[in-house]
Amino acid sequence: MIYLCVGRRASIPYYIDTAGIGLYSAEELAYYIKENIMMLDASILDESLCKFIEKELALPELAGALRECVMSGGSITDFVETLMSKTNLASKDEIENMKRQLAARGSLSKSEKHRMKGDFLVKGGRYSEAVNEYNMALDEIDLSQKPNEAARIFHNKGVAYAELFYFSEASECFRQAFELNPTSQSSKEAYFDARALASGKVPESVALGDNVMERRYRRYLRKVEDGDIEGSQVILTELLNDMENAYRRSV
Amino acid sequence: MKNIIEKSMAVGIDLSDDFSEISYIDRNDMNVVTYRTGSDEEKFEIPTLACKIPGEEGGWCFGEEAISASQEYGIELIDNLVHRAIIGKNICTEYNEVVDPVRLLGMFVLYVLLYPSEINPKGIASLVITTESIDPALPAIFEKILTNIRSEIENIRYISHAESFFYYALNQPIELWREGVLLFDYNFMHFKMSSLLIDSRTKPAIVMTEEKSYDDMVPFVEENAQLYDNIFREITENELLNKRISAVYLTGSSFAGRWADKTLRFLCSRARVFVGQNLYTKGACYAAADLVGWTRLGSRYIFMDETRINTSIGIRASDGVREDVIPVISPGVSWYDINVCAEFMLGTDRKISLVIRGSGDDNEREAVIRCDWIPERPERATRIRLEITCPRKNLLTCKVTDLGFGEIFPSAGLSREEKVELL
């Protein structure tokens, strides 16, 4: 099945600062809203978005309806519902689901909101900002009252640090996550991997996951057993480069 | 201050292997003018000839200039430029220079286009070239030779003499075609009679030509003029038996002399009669004006000949609520004019359904174009460009290009072509 395009493709995109992304079509705008419904804030109720829809996407009627929504003090929910229903870019069920999610947002705690924003920033590759959000989330949470939620925040903060190659900090976050939630196998494994990386070693989980890296890892172990420190450091550097390249390819 | 040249001219060129002619129409007065090549009021012909002046400084010359150069330098003229381009065989000049016949035809067409000083190429809104018939090789040849011109002239078409006749006749006052029109085309190669048939039961009305050839009349020999007049009279009497006609047109070099007095007297008693040598170029000019919407003939009458497809093609698509078949190609379009380009959003089934229906036929069939080669993405998160062209009658080439989804899912840069038979 194919679908008719809504409006035209913009020559100048609408830039979403928080996501670091430009949107070129009504379909992209709708997709972004659907995928990040929990992250929407009042900044979407913006004349510049209405102007973009009117001029760049050539949808003056939609822009007029959204403008009316903004000027009459409409909520984010009203705005999203107007956008989706007038463009048929979401089914009735999807629109209802989005409305429910937006309503549920009101009942989220400050900590949850910060954590979700941190997760959103990690998805967008903005790891430093994500760490700040996780810190704010931890400031708002009572570790003893909500250990699992706190563990989740520490784990995700560890992931953000690891993406920044701050393995010592990452290792510490995973350790705290595992302490708060001892049942979390992923936090435990992540802790050991980060610790290995922090001390310049290759994590076993990585070494055994790739043939080329596995062979390099085994050569590294042989050099260490033979007491060839210089040789082992050279191979370790090559191995860390392999891991870095593999990471870059994956994103 | 930048001078903006208004595109206010439509041009029609009659391109034949013996002579070519050019007409133009200015939007501001809508009078078709055929360019006169001599002092004689009725001289419009530009000989379709080429000649290469020898030597390093020598270049190509065409038309009457080619004839003069040939006489001055004693070199051979190159004729039949259209036929040579269709055959495609390289031309070897007397001085062993090899030239591509398509390129040579292109140079001649440009020469004809720039011949009248009244025509500024930057001011041309549309150009229609008419030839006796549209050989299957001609559209590709014209595309090649007109590539450079397309940057100046966006609207270009090629039509047959029959279609040119249609445009000429129906752009005359209604009293000249309401009851029927006849055309006699007579030169050293053929004697043809064409009649326009208008089926007004449909909207828009369908128009066709019915052609008959009379080999007895070819070639015209002056000594046998009386014989030819008798044969011509008989042909017209048979044709007009129990039939009313509004107008009769006579065109072609063999009608130049006054040998058909008897027949003309008979024809004049039955209809308005016009003799002229620029009917096709004027018809092409009317077609050019219609192409850019200066006249509305095409919205009321559709001309049908063997180049037209008689199928309609649509694309099954949804607007998010309802599914429908979006028409993209209507019956009556010339196969070589088919050039569809549209963008859609792809569903997760990753297929495009073309719905093909024959004219006057309730049955339809679907041709599915699979897009499995496009990376998997969520529903309506892949923009595709679909381009449909027709390399020959009844065969479509459908090209699908993955345009991605902006910065969210960048395009893989892939495209694929599939062929779809219409029969």
Please report, for the domain that includes residue B139, its CATH number.
Answer: 3.30.420.40
Report the CATH number at residue B388. 2.60.34.10
Q: Which of A4, A21, A87 is the closest to B344 by Cβ?
A: A4
CB contact at 8 A, B277 and B42: yes
- The Cα B53–Cα B72 span in angstroms is 10
Residue A211: what pLDDT? Answer: 64
Question: Is B4 inside any structural domain?
Answer: no
Boundary of a domain, candidates B106, B125, B144: B125
Boundary of a domain, candidates B269, B303, B337: B303
Q: Give which of A90, A169, A103, A183 is closest to A130, Cα–Cα.
A: A169
Q: How confident is the model over B72-102, as pLDDT tens digits?
A: 989 899 999 999 999 999 998 878 889 999 9
Which three-class secondary structure state does DSSP give residue B84? helix
Residue B299: what pLDDT? Answer: 85
Which three-class secondary structure state does DSSP give residue A71? helix
Among B residues 341-360, those touching chain A with beta carbons less than 8 Å apart: 343-347, 349, 351-353
- Please state the domain count of chain B: 3
B175 near A CB under 8 A: no
B91 near A CB under 8 A: no
> Which residue type occupies B226?
Q
Residue A203: what pLDDT? Answer: 66
A14 contact residues in B (CB cutoff 8 A): none
The alpha-carbon gap from A118 to the nearest alpha carbon of chain B, in Å, equals: 19
Does A1 sit within 8 Å of B323, measured CB to CB?
yes
Radius of gyration of chain B (CA): 25
Does B316 sit within 8 Å of A2, measured CB to CB?
yes
Q: Which of B351, B352, B381 is the closest to A31 by Cβ?
A: B381
For residue B216, give both structure tokens.
């007895």
- The Cα A162–Cα A247 span in angstroms is 11
Does A4 sit within 8 Å of B326, measured CB to CB?
yes
- The Cα B384–Cα B346 span in angstroms is 7
Question: Is B408 inside any structural domain?
Answer: yes
In this structure, the answer to whether residues B295 and B339 fall within a common structural domain is no
Residues 6 or more apart whose CB falls under 8 angstroms from that of B147 comprise: none
B82 burial (CB, 10 Å; 0-12 / 13-18 / 19+) is: buried
B319 contact residues in A (CB cutoff 8 A): 3-4, 88
In this structure, the answer to whether residues B209 and B225 fall within a common structural domain is yes
Stretch among A34-43, A224-233, B152-161, B267-276 having the lowest mean pLDDT = A224-233
Does A9 sit within 8 Å of B345, measured CB to CB?
no
- The Cα A138–Cα B368 span in angstroms is 55
Among B residues 360-389, those touching chain A with beta carbons less than 8 Å apart: 378, 380-381, 383-384
- The Cα A241–Cα A249 span in angstroms is 12
CB contact at 8 A, A113 and A92: no
The alpha-carbon gap from A186 to the nearest alpha carbon of chain B, in Å, equals: 28
Residues B13, B16, B21: CA angle, nearest 5 degrees: 35
Please check the confidence at residue A209 and state whether its pLDDT lies above 60: no
Residue A249: what pLDDT? Answer: 59
In this structure, the answer to whether residues B91 and B188 fall within a common structural domain is no
Query: What pairing do the DSSP bridges indicate for beta strands B339-346 and B383-392?
Result: antiparallel
Does B406 sit within 8 Å of A4, measured CB to CB?
no
The alpha-carbon gap from B72 to the nearest alpha carbon of chain A, in Å, equals: 59
Q: Phi and psi of A78, rounded to 5°?
A: -60, -45
**For residue A130, what are the CA distances in angstroms to A43, A166, A181?**
19, 14, 22
Q: Give which of B187, B178, B165 is closest to B247, Cα–Cα.
A: B178
Closest CA in chain B for residue A87 = B320
Which residue in the block uniquely carries the two structure tokens 């810190």? A135
The alpha-carbon gap from A91 to the nearest alpha carbon of chain B, in Å, equals: 8
In this structure, the answer to whether residues B290 and B362 fall within a common structural domain is no
CATH number of A109-199: 1.25.40.10
In this structure, the answer to whether residues B261 and B136 fall within a common structural domain is yes
In this structure, the answer to whether residues B25 and B138 fall within a common structural domain is no
Q: What residues in chain A have their Cβ under 8 A from chain B's Cβ atoms?
A: 1-5, 9, 13, 21-25, 27-28, 31-32, 87-89
For residue B203, give both structure tokens.
């909207």
Sign (positive or negative) of CA dihedral A74, A80, A81, A87: positive
Mean pLDDT of chain B: 90
In this structure, the answer to whether residues B133 and B272 fall within a common structural domain is yes
In this structure, the answer to whether residues B53 and B141 fall within a common structural domain is no
B322 near A CB under 8 A: no
Question: Is B251 inside any structural domain?
Answer: yes
Q: Is the pTM of this model over 0.80?
A: no
B327 near A CB under 8 A: no
- The Cα A49–Cα B278 span in angstroms is 58
In this structure, the answer to whether residues B15 and B130 fall within a common structural domain is no
Does A87 sit within 8 Å of B345, measured CB to CB?
no
Q: How confident is the model over B50-66, as pLDDT tens digits?
A: 999 887 777 899 999 99
Q: Where are the domains of chain A?
A: 14-105, 109-199, 203-251
CB contact at 8 A, B254 and B188: yes
For residue A157, give both structure tokens.
């903060």
In this structure, the answer to whether residues B205 and B350 fall within a common structural domain is no
Considering only residues A24 and A197, tell me which one the structure prediction assigns the higher pLDDT: A24
In this structure, the answer to whether residues B121 and B141 fall within a common structural domain is no
Question: Is B20 inside any structural domain?
Answer: yes
In this structure, the answer to whether residues B114 and B214 fall within a common structural domain is no
Which three-class secondary structure state does DSSP give residue B242? coil
pLDDT grade for B285, boundaries at 50, 70 and 90: very high
Which range marks the domain in which residue B131 is found?
126-303
For residue B224, give both structure tokens.
């046998």
Does B408 sit within 8 Å of A88, measured CB to CB?
no
Does A1 sit within 8 Å of B349, measured CB to CB?
yes
Radius of gyration of chain A (CA): 24
Boundary of a domain, candidates B97, B125, B153: B125
Count of pairs with CB atoms under 8 A, one residue in A, one in B: 72
pLDDT grade for B43, boundaries at 50, 70 and 90: confident
Closest CA in chain B for residue A123 = B408
